[in-house]
């Protein structure tokens, strides 16, 4: 009797599932980010003072600004992690090409679509290079870095994050090309060239390190890492960031140009301790924002509540959300000017950053109005993101959707 010959079974590689905790955290920081931008365009104090000024701020105003510090570093960090996960499906060559093209696309968007959203200035004589610019440049850099061993990428990222503050004492005087390039690379500055205002707000070096570090974290989401082990890794990393922050901040020796000092009340002393530099992001700034974000990932992997599912919708379409929210805020602010004795043309076009605009002195609302506008904005944005998320799922064959 002849034994039956087994028919070979062709195994289909298992694609890694989308990491919903990353979508949840990304959606949460996008929601928080909108609060800061609404404050920029609506709060009266935005035109008169810094919300982190300990001499004039209030606890709620300080919190309103400080909590938004989580947004840029975590978005940059999670972009690196997401890139690693894409690479596990497509391979390094395809990932590198995607990162390079998407990075250039983001730089283009920053200088055109995003720039116009901020200023509504058809002359484009305010050249603002912000977070989308930094994200794009970091992606282009990561497109090359991913060909290195993961240990080498980790070392490079840590050197950038921990070492860039060694350059804080260096500066390039003047307003020439060399000074502008240094501002793009490490030191925020403002330049006036004829009728053009150049404002490199997000120096790129530390941001490249933050994205590369996020890429390395992606290894914790490999299929051979079980959830329990991944949670231990995330808890260790997140806690280490916060502990290192607390130690360095207490010593006042390295990691941030602005030192903390005792204030007249305990709360203000705490505020002084927590006020760290964002432009460029200091070592301490990165530690105290990325660290809690990693802890959030450790605890949120199985969160599936009614609210979290809706936040994840926003987290799945972050660029769409970002572009739309800028236009909605600016248009709403144009309408709001009529309630403050101003004209809508005071809000468009802008010739400088909104809170510096001379025409808008005396404009603005209370912090309560800011929060009300923010809440209404998030509701509108949720439904727009829900529509776009469904559109993307129904049209996966459209390659260009991966770039928006």
- CB 143: neighbour CB atoms within 10 A? 21
Q: According to the model, what pLDDT value does residue 393 have?
A: 87
Q: Indicate whether 248 belongs to any domain.
A: yes
Q: Do 298 and 235 form a contact (C-beta atoms < 8 A)?
A: yes
Residue-wise pLDDT for 139-155, tens only, equals: 999 999 999 999 999 99
Tokens at residue 7, please?
């028919």
Residue 14 lies in a domain: no
As to burial, measured by CB atoms within 10 angstroms (0-12 exposed, 13-18 middle, 19+ buried), residue 166 is exposed
What's the chain's length in residues? 404
Q: What is the pTM of this model?
A: 0.92
Residue 58 lies in a domain: yes
In contact, 303 and 324? CB cutoff 8 Å: no
147-176 pLDDT per residue, tens:
999 999 999 999 999 999 999 888 888 888
Range of the domain at 349: 20-368
Q: Which residues of the chain have pLDDT under 70?
A: 1-17
Q: Confirm whether 402 is domain-assigned.
A: no
Please, are residues 109 and 101 in contact by the beta-carbon 8 Å criterion?
no
Whole-number Å distance between alpha carbons of 234 and 290: 11
The pLDDT value given to residue 193: 86
Give the sign of the dihedral formed by CA 36, CA 37, CA 38, CA 41: positive
Indicate whether 120 belongs to any domain.
yes
Residue 41 lies in a domain: yes
pLDDT recorded at residue 4: 45
Residues 223, 203 contacting (CB under 8 angstroms): no
Query: Using CA atoms, how far apart are residues 48 and 55, in angstroms rounded to an integer?
Result: 13
pLDDT of residue 17: 55
Please state the domain count of the chain.
1
Residue 208 forms part of a structural domain: yes
Q: Is 191 exposed, middle or buried (0-12, 13-18, 19+ CB in 10 A)?
A: middle
Residues 6+ apart with CB under 8 A from 98: 86, 90, 402
Instruction: Decide if 209 is inside a domain.
Output: yes
Quote the mean pLDDT of the chain: 92
Q: State the pLDDT at residue 3.
A: 44
């Amino acid at each position: 009797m002849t034994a039956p010959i087994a028919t070979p079974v062709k195994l289909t590689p298992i694609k890694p599932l989308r990491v919903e905790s990353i979508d949840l955290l990304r959606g949460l920081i996008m929601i928080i980010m909108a609060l800061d931008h609404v404050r920029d365009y609506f709060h009266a104090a935005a035109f008169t003072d810094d919300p982190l000024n300990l001499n004039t701020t209030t606890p709620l105003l300080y919190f309103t600004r400080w909590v938004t510090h989580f947004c840029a570093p975590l978005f940059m960090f999670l972009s690196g992690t997401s890139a690693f996960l894409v690479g596990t499906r497509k391979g390094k060559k395809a990932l590198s090409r995607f990162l390079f093209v998407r990075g250039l696309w983001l730089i283009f968007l920053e200088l055109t679509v995003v720039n116009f959203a901020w200023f509504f200035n058809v002359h484009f004589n305010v050249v603002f290079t912000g977070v989308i610019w930094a994200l794009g440049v970091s992606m282009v850099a990561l497109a090359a870095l991913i060909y290195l061993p993961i240990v080498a990428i980790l070392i490079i990222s840590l050197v950038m994050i921990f070492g860039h503050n060694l350059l804080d004492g260096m500066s390039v005087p003047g307003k020439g090309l060399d000074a502008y390039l240094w501002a793009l690379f490490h030191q925020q500055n403002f330049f006036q060239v004829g009728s053009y205002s150049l404002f490199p707000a997000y120096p790129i070096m530390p941001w490249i390190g933050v994205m590369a570090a996020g890429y390395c974290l992606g290894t914790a989401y490999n299929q051979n890492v079980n959830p329990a082990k991944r949670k231990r890794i995330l808890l260790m990393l997140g806690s280490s960031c916060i502990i290192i922050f607390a130690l360095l901040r207490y010593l006042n020796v390295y990691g941030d140009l602005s030192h903390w000092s005792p204030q007249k009340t305990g709360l203000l002393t705490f505020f002084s301790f927590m006020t760290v530099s964002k432009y460029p992001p200091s070592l301490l700034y990165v530690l105290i924002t990325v660290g809690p974000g990693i802890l959030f990932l450790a605890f949120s992997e199985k969160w599936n509540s009614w609210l979290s599912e809706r936040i994840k919708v926003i987290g799945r379409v972050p660029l769409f959300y970002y572009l739309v929210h800028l236009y909605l805020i600016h248009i709403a602010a144009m309408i709001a000017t009529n309630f403050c004795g101003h004209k809508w043309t005071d809000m468009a076009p802008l010739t400088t950053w909104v809170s510096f605009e001379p025409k808008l002195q005396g404009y603005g609302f209370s912090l309560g109005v800011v929060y009300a506008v923010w809440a209404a904005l998030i509701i509108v944005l949720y439904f727009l993101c829900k529509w776009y998320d469904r559109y993307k799922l129904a049209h996966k064959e459209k390659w260009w959707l991966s770039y928006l």
